[in-house]
Amino acid sequence: MASGRLEALDRLIEAFGRLPGVGAKSAERLAHHVLKSPPEEALALAEAIRQIKERVHHCRTCYHLTESSEELCLICRDSSRDPGVICVVEGSRDLLALERAGTYRGVYHVLLGRLAPLQGTGPDSLTIDGLEERVASGKVREVIMATNPNLEGDGTALLVANRLADSGVPITRLARGLASGSVLEFANKEMLADAFSGRQCF
Amino acid sequence: MPSVRTLGLVVRTVDVFETSLIMTAFTRDLGKVSGLAKGARRLKSPMQGGLDLLGVSDIVLLHKASDALDLVTEAVPVERFASLRRDLAALYAGYYIAELLSDLTDFHDPHPRLFDAATVTLRHLGEPLLRSRRVLRFELACLRELGLMPVLDACAHCGVEVEAEGDSFAFGLATGGVLCPSCRTGQPHVATLSGRTLGAIRALASPGNAWRDPELGPGSLGAVRATLGAVISHHLGRRPRLLPFLGA
């Protein structure tokens, strides 16, 4: 160990450095901030990290996040939700974004990733088996694919749609094209092509 | 800092920070390049979706003099391959092409013909009957362009014309092609190919239309797939991640 270095501080810097988007300098800055902060503040951070690992787990039905005291998440427990419509998303952050819009009243299924075999995420890494079981129950009227509108998202939707093809349940996907509040002049040809192919009756 | 503009096929993207990504593209004029695209994942990004995987875009790169990553300042989509979004087998084949371009090529080593071969192959992956042959042809084009093409007509070790032993040929993965009986002994990683398989590889590597010959049935194509998979694994030093997803 270089002179003047502290093992505990180095360990914290290394731990911060493993977080996404945190480089070596930022990790060092964060570690020194923790060092300078009052003990109760630093310990509260440590306790929050411990609790999230011990108490938060995936919902048994939809794989969204839930507290350990409950097997089902808040959305799956909400009786005002329509369990006949399942919206499939890649991750819980996508689900939360859709919930912020406040317009959807069905339930969700979180895939816990997207089909990205170049990064080692194959079909077996996703929760498609769980979705198949839900659809096979016969209570589902529609599955909405809300994966990201890029190649990996579309590939994931394609994989899920292929796996559910024999169920006979209608599979739809979110509309894409022009963003509300934008102008045609600055839309690229992909947006315009999507907007034309997804046009609706006026 | 000089900027350069080139057509590029995006072969890898990694999300970084909240809205940025690091992209790797196989470009026509510069070969493989990587760059940081700040804010590329924002809804109103100037990249306009031009950094989506397996899309051809007109990319502007700001070259950094130091070791830092180049900056991507503009990426306008030029071509998307619709079949990759409709057909899972086509998508896996497309990912395989991206893996080969990303992992077999070196940075800043341009191969315009390989870029053209990749875009032509991606354009036609929606044709299920010829898909596996097109991917095999691309693999052979890739090996040829990169100077890794196995020798098929003469002994890769001594250069003499090779004759079949019965109907089989020795094929040295490490030596880089077929081997004559006298050179075979002592060579590592030697596989045995049937004359039919060797003929199929030659047909697929040839510039004419022999690769479309219906005589190249699934049996011989399966053996070609196994052979080329082994050759590429040898050069990569590992098995390609997408290989298990490809059909024969």
Q: Does the beta-carbon distance from B85 to A191 stay under 8 Å?
A: no
A63 lies in the same domain as A121: yes
In a domain, A194, yes or no: no
What number is the ipTM of this complex? 0.88
Q: Are A28 and A67 found together in one domain?
A: no
- pLDDT higher than 60, residue B161: yes
Q: Which residues pair with A121 in a beta bridge?
A: A116
Instruction: Work out the number of other CB atoms within 10 angstroms of the CB of residue B209.
Output: 8
Predicted structure pTM score: 0.89
Sheet harboring A142-145: ordered strands across?
A: A106-110, A82-89, A142-145, A171-173
A47 belongs to a structural domain? yes
Q: How far is CA A146 from the centre of its chain?
A: 11
- The answer to whether the CB atoms of B241 and A151 lie below 8 A apart is no
Query: What separation in angstroms does the CA of B151 have from each of A201, B154, B183, B192?
Result: 61, 6, 14, 15
3-state secondary structure of B194: strand
Residues of A in contact with B241 (CB under 8 A): 117-118, 120
Instruction: Please report the pLDDT score of residue B159 as a whole number.
Output: 86
Q: What is the pLDDT of residues B180-197, one digit of tens each?
A: 888 888 888 888 888 889
Q: Which is higher by pLDDT, A112 or A2?
A: A112
Q: Note whether residue A41 is domain-resident.
A: yes
Judge: A189–B77 Cβ closer than 8 Å, yes or no: yes
Q: Which of B18, B50, B55 sits opposite A21 (nearest CB)?
A: B18
B242 or B69: which carries more pLDDT confidence? B242
Taking CB atoms and an 8 Å limit, are B85 and A155 in contact across chains? yes
- State how far the Cα of A46 lies from the Cα of B154, in Å rounded to an integer: 67
**pLDDT for residue B164 is more than 70:** no
Tens-digit pLDDT profile for residues A170-186: 999 999 888 777 788 87
Query: Residue holding tokens 């923790």?
Result: A34
CB spacing of B53 vs A117 below 8 angstroms:
no
Cα gap B223→B213, rounded to integer Å: 16
> In chain B, what percentage of residues exceed pLDDT 90?
60
Q: Does A138 lie at the interface with B, CB-CB under 8 angstroms?
A: no
Is A149 inside a domain boundary?
yes
Residues of the domain holding A25: 10-54
Tell me: do A94 and A33 sit in the same domain: no
Substitution target in B91, B102, B122, B243 with the highest count of A β-carbons within 10 Å is B91
Separation between Cα atoms, residue B103 and residue B243, nearest integer Å: 14
Residues forming a β-bridge with A108: A87
Pairing relationship of beta strands B56-62 and A171-173 according to DSSP bridges: unpaired
d(CA B13, CA B50): 12
Tell me whether residue B69 is exposed, middle or buried, using C-beta atoms within 10 angstroms of its C-beta: 0 to 12, 13 to 18, 19 or more. middle
Quick one: A141 and A80 in the same domain?
yes
> Which DSSP state fits A18?
T
Structure tokens that stand for B93 in this block: 């084949």
Q: How far is B92 from chain A (nearest CA, A)?
A: 8
Which of A118, A154, A191 shows the shortest C-beta gap to B241? Answer: A118
Same domain, A93 and A111: yes
**For residue A186, is it within any domain?**
no
CB contact under 8 A, B12 and A118: yes
| 8 Å CB contact of A118 and B49 | no
> Does A190 sit within 8 Å of B95, measured CB to CB?
no
Question: Which run of H or of E encompasses A173?
Answer: strand A171-173
In angstroms, what CA-CA distances link B233 with A13, A25, B53, B73, B243?
38, 38, 23, 35, 9
What domains lie within chain B, and their CATH numbers?
Answer: 3-79 (2.40.50.140), 83-149+186-245 (1.20.1440.120)
Q: Which residue has the higher pLDDT, B213 or B28?
A: B28
pLDDT above 90 for A20:
no
Q: What is the distance between the alpha carbons of residues A202 and A196, in angstroms, rounded to a whole number?
A: 13
B91 and A118 in contact by Cβ < 8 A?
Answer: no
Confidence band, pLDDT 50/70/90 cuts, at residue A194: confident
Structural domain count, chain A: 2
- B135-148 residue pLDDT tens: 999 999 999 999 99
The pLDDT value recorded for residue B153 is: 86
The predicted pLDDT at position A98 comes to: 96
- Please tell me the distance in Å from B164's CA to the nearest CA on chain A: 39
CA distance linking residue B88 with residue B86, whole number of Å = 7
Same domain, A125 and A25: no
Is the pLDDT at A55 greater than 60, yes or no? yes
- Tokens 């900027």, located at residue: B3
Residue A142 domain-assigned (yes or no):
yes
Q: Are residues A98 and A126 in the same domain?
A: yes
A45: CATH:
1.10.8.420
Note the maximum CA span of chain A: 73
Residues A90 and A23 in one domain: no
Helix (H) or strand (E) run with residue A34 in it = helix A24-36
Note whether A45 and A75 are same-domain residues: no
From the list B193, B161, B160, B187, the residue with the least C-alpha distance to B175 is B187
pLDDT of residue A202: 87
Mean pLDDT calculated for residue range A133-155 = 95
CA-to-CA distance for B232 and B136, rounded, in angstroms?
Answer: 11
Q: How confident is the model at residue B174 (pLDDT cuts 50, 70, 90)?
A: confident
Asked whether the predicted pLDDT for residue A68 surpasses 80, the reply is: no
Query: Do you know the residue count of chain B?
Result: 248
**Average pLDDT value for residue range B104-117:** 96
Closest CA to A116 of A90, A86, A93, A146: A90
Q: Judge whether B95 and B61 are in contact, CB under 8 Å.
A: no
pLDDT of B184? 85
* Contact between chains at A155 and B55 (C-beta distance less than 8 A): no
Q: Please check whether residues A41 and A75 belong to one and the same domain.
A: no
Is A190 a member of any domain? no
Nearest CB partner across the interface for B241, out of A21, A117, A190: A117
Kind of pairing, strands A142-145 and A82-89?
parallel
Write b or e for each residue in A62-84: b if 16 or more Cβ atoms lie within 10 A of its Cβ, otherwise e: bbbbbeeeeeebebbeeeebebe
Query: Which pLDDT score is estimated for A184?
Result: 86
Q: What is the CATH number of the domain that holds A154?
A: 3.40.1360.10
Task: Kindly report the average pLDDT of chain B as a whole number.
Answer: 90
Same domain, A37 and A80: no
Cα B190 from Cα B196, distance rounded (Å): 18
pLDDT of residue B215: 75
Between B159 and A82, name the one with better pLDDT: A82
Question: Both A149 and A79 in a single domain?
Answer: yes
Q: For the segment A83-137, what is each residue's pLDDT rounded down to a tens digit?
A: 999 999 999 999 999 999 999 999 999 999 999 999 999 999 999 999 999 999 9
**Measured between beta carbons, which residues in chain B are less than 8 angstroms from residue A184?**
none
Q: What is the mean pLDDT of residues B9-32?
A: 92
pLDDT computed for residue A35 by the predictor: 94
For B37-93, how does the pLDDT look when each residue is reduced to its tens digit (9 = 90+)? 998 888 777 776 789 999 999 999 998 877 778 999 999 889 999 999 999 999 999
pLDDT value for B1: 60
* The pLDDT value given to residue B248: 58
Q: Spell out which chain B residues touch chain A, with contact meaning CB-CB distance below 8 angstroms.
A: 12, 16-18, 43, 48-50, 52-55, 76-77, 80, 84-88, 91-92, 95, 98-99, 102, 241-242, 245
- B110 vs B210, which has greater pLDDT? B110
